[in-house]
């Protein structure tokens, strides 16, 4: 059984996700976390309820996006700032991260199949067991040669790679 505090937090997360994007942005502004405007695009489902609960729990202590297990599939998140973001086990299938800042992001066990990361900054990213089949990495800004080859062997695509032709 959930504690009353946890149930209240869950209800608040559900109410947040039931709002329109503009209402969500207003809420984020009131909480002082409008820099996380990508939260206005998330769908209402259990994965995202849990994610929003973490953002609402202590908004003044947020430093980096904690999106473990979040469902961001199919979203256009071009130019988003996920520096030091934890996207472990996140569903990012068919999402677009064109020109995004993904420095130090953790994609452990994330699903990036058919995602578009062209132009994204990828220095110091973690890709342990990430699903990257048909993921477009563009020119792979910031990936090491080892990371690039590993991702390519798992089905990732690079725009400047002879192996992909």
pLDDT at 79: 97
Domains of the chain (ranges; CATH) run 1-62 (no CATH), 64-165 (2.160.20.80)
- Average pLDDT in the chain: 93
Cα(143)–Cα(154) distance, integer angstroms? 15
Q: Which residues contact 116 (CB under 8 A, 6 or more apart)?
A: 95, 96, 97, 98, 135, 136
* Angle at alpha carbon of residue 7, lines to 110 and 37, rounded to 5°: 45
Cα(148)–Cα(21) distance, integer angstroms? 36
Lowest mean pLDDT among 1-5, 12-16, 40-44, 56-60: 1-5
Within a 13 Å sphere around the CA of 54, how many CA atoms are in the beta-carbon half? 17
Cα(95)–Cα(98) distance, integer angstroms? 9
Which DSSP symbol is given to 37?
Answer: G
Name the 3-class secondary structure at 59: helix
Query: Which position has the token pair 């086990």?
Result: 89
Confidence check: pLDDT of 6 > 90:
no
Confidence check: pLDDT of 17 > 80:
yes
- Cα end-to-end span (Å), the chain: 55
Tens of pLDDT, residue by residue over 109-126, are 999 999 999 999 999 999
pLDDT at 7: 87
């Amino acid at each position: 059984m959930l504690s009353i505090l946890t149930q209240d937090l869950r209800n608040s997360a559900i109410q947040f996700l039931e709002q329109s994007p503009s209402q969500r942005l207003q809420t984020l502004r009131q909480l002082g976390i409008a820099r996380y405007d990508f939260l206005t695009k998330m769908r209402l489902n259990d994965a995202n309820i849990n994610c929003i609960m973490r953002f609402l729990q202590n908004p003044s202590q947020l430093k980096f996006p904690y999106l473990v297990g979040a469902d961001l599939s199919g979203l256009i998140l071009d130019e988003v700032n996920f520096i030091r973001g934890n996207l472990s086990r996140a569903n990012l299938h068919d999402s677009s991260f064109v020109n995004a800042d993904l420095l130090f992001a953790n994609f452990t066990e994330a699903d990036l199949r058919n995602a578009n990361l062209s132009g994204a900054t990828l220095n110091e990213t973690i890709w342990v067991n990430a699903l990257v089949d048909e993921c477009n990495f563009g020119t792979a800004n910031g990936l090491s040669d080892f990371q690039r080859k590993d991702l390519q062997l798992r089905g990732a695509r690079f725009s400047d790679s002879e192996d992909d032709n």
